[in-house]
Structure 1
């Protein structure tokens, strides 16, 4: 990316003045750097040793480009590009743009004092001093702007890289990757692993808006199949999380150790496929258990309720409803009658029919099978 420095005045320094200023470049650069060290705290220790040598060389180069510009021999493009890279480097070194702009302000003041002190004795007419000042400060302003652009671009690039690493980590978690793979993804993303993660499945369009209201350590993906997204919420307070999602079409899985977030996601996804009305999977564990293997559940029902298959459909349905109420109310006839809205004598008659069909109805194993078969409406 090119950042040329444009001229803002018609001033062109004569060769005598330029020669005098070039002779003082090293001294000027040293004074600029020392002033920055003294007056801008973030650079107090940053400009020593090898870094100090590098910065002094960069300052001398910038001043040299400036003199080329002031003498009409260059555009200052190289200086702008160097300032842009300096802004990017400040991000890598962990310093804010405020620190760099402060350094530029100090540098401009000291550089102008030194340049003016050299230009006037070299014969720069008093009438040209104002133009010289304008050119000097405009040059520093444009270097500042180029550095600010580099700083912003580097932050944006790092933000995009960081977001990509976080998304990659989320995909590894959903895929149930090995601990070694997960730890490598964690390190690349700079993410602090929590104790647990809770998966929240919701429409893709709602994923990012919901994400912005949750813990900043939450991981988000909004490009899952069927236009769904997922949030992986760290160490969630479940009741608080559900309240935060009140206005969302969300399914909340169980909390699981962070390396097993895929299990939380799998349960939320299964709950979503079971019913669009489920929000908290913890409230629907029986249905989820019985739907874990739909074919096995169908086989269980077919085998356990086979004796009813010999009856007319309407009769079989009434007896199944009675059996279900009898099992759920533990044989208490009046409660069964109330649940079915029938007379207790009707319950007694139907139960006599059921005992003929299921001679081992008192067997614990038979009771377990029948309870599973008729206890819940699944599918």
Structure 2
């Protein structure tokens, strides 16, 4: 095609030959448009709206540019007559991408247009008595020219998709940031509309290591939102917001994530997904949380509640364990361990002994010591509740 291009620019027809072609240009354009509408279904409705007028102008511009190109009436620059046709073809490609029509439909329209326009132009040339060799060469030039136009449209179509894809990616990131920042409903809804994103009923925050996010996101709903940096509290993690992963769908999502490293927050109404994100982050930061498997925040609710206010928990622990300060350090640790087990097993001595691998008599001795230290407080429901909370956090004595 590139080698033949100079022929398009250098081949000339006399004004006597071009004149009847130009006179019938409107007819040729109409015939070409009618054929495209009949043979390419994607364009049947396009020509009936505002877009139709634009496409008709593009067809007429293409045919007019070609006739000007092969005539002898343009200036000394042999390349300038081709520019309007290429610019119109490029703009047509971008417009078709914006309107959701595929490249296949566009190229089919060019094929039909080339065939029909050549048929009409050839009839005119034959009627004016052009030699067969001239008409054959003319045919070659028509199809080379159409190839140039279709190539320009392909570039326009691709450029528009790339541009709109980048723009939509930015809009989706802005939507995700607005959701995680807990912006106002108006701000979030506007961001969703700008990103052309249809809100689900619920969203679930999922934290995954940055290196695994591509693999994980391919497993999930295509509407899943993503942000490459989950926040300063959890560096090296990305956040995914998964649509409608509640109810029975939650088990399905957990199953899809099996074998991956992920922390799955609770499902929340989509405008309130920040709460899901916050819980996922808190769970990830819990002591002992493993990131080598799927972590379901629903399995850590008690610990999350107990550690919601670390300073209050520390104060409570200091208050309810103060009686043990009268015992030696080692003895105090053993007494606290026994008291925790005693509370957990509701005073069943044999169960406490089995858990701590000690003799039941040792349990009896330690509990006698604890009753001496606490007195009637071990019969007070409020004190028992406080003791249970203070001694329930993993890793705390």
TM-score bucket of the superposed structures, by smaller chain: over 0.9
Q: Please, which of 334, 358, 361 is the counterpart of residue 378 of structure 2?
A: 361
- Give distance in 2, aligned partners of 1:110 and 1:315: 100
- Give distance in 2, aligned partners of 1:96 and 1:306: 75
Kept after mapping to 2: 8 A contact 1:210/1:245: yes
Partner in structure 2 of residue 177 of structure 1: 183
Q: Deviations over 1:286-335 (max 9, x none)?
A: 21112211111111111110111122110000100110010000001111
- Give distance in 2, aligned partners of 1:351 and 1:68: 106
Once the two structures are overlaid, the 10-residue window that deviates more, 81-90 or 47-56, is: 47-56
Alignment of 1:144-183 (within 5 A): 144-183=150-189
Partner in structure 2 of residue 268 of structure 1: 280
- Give distance in 2, aligned partners of 1:57 and 1:283: 64
Change (3 A) 1:49 1:332: closer
Q: Is 1:196 matched up with 2:202?
A: yes
Q: Please, which of 338, 351, 367 is the counterpart of residue 335 of structure 1?
A: 351
Change (3 A) 1:54 1:229: closer
Counterpart of 2:47 in 1: which secondary structure?
coil
User: What's the C-alpha RMSD, in Å, of the aligned pairs?
Assistant: 1.9
Partner in structure 1 of residue 365 of structure 2: 349
Kept after mapping to 2: 8 A contact 1:17/1:123: no
Give the structure-2-normalised TM-score: 0.89
> Structure 2 regions of 5+ residues with no counterpart?
none
Partner in structure 2 of residue 14 of structure 1: 14
Change (3 A) 1:365 1:43: same
Give the structure-1-normalised TM-score: 0.93
> Structure 1 regions of 5+ residues with no counterpart?
none
Q: Is 1:277 matched up with 2:294?
A: no
Counterpart of 1:200 in 2: which secondary structure?
strand
Partner in structure 1 of residue 23 of structure 2: 23
Partner in structure 2 of residue 59 of structure 1: 59
Partner in structure 2 of residue 47 of structure 1: 47
- Give distance in 1, aligned partners of 2:20 and 2:183: 67
Counterpart of 2:101 in 1: which secondary structure?
coil
1:211 Cα shift?
0.5
Q: Please, which of 84, 92, 96 is the counterpart of residue 86 of structure 1?
A: 92
Aligned residues: 375
Partner in structure 1 of residue 389 of structure 2: 372
Q: Deviations over 1:182-213 (max 9, x none)?
A: 21122112222222211111111212220011
